[in-house]
Structure 1
Amino acid sequence: MTQRQFSLYKDLFLRLFLHEFDMKPIVVDISGESSSGKSGLLLLCASVLGSPKE
């Protein structure tokens, strides 16, 4: 499965999940100064889906 296919399937699943449980999507803005932990936060969030290094 390519990265693009995975992204499309993930988006479809999340849309169905949000619709099924009558939930609204959220957007989080993590912009800021250099060396403030933005990349670390993204790696932490990615670890929910698996190893962020893969």
Structure 2
Amino acid sequence: MRGGSYVLLTPAEVADWLKVSEGTVKNKYRTWGLRSQKVGRLLRFRERDVVDYLDRKYG
């Protein structure tokens, strides 16, 4: 993995970064192959994993 950090992002933060709705992130992250983390019942994404996804998808 190239960039990013291990900071955990909420689905809303990922949605803002990708310019999509929060619902889209929650419904599509598995289809996109975006790795997630569960913190209790909360869904979170490592910044590093989002950067890796963007590199793979849009290189």
Q: What's the TM-score once normalised by structure 1's chain length? A: 0.25
Higher RCO (C-alpha 8 Å, min separation 6): 2
Larger strand proportion, structure 1 or 2? Answer: 2
| Structure index of larger Rg | 1
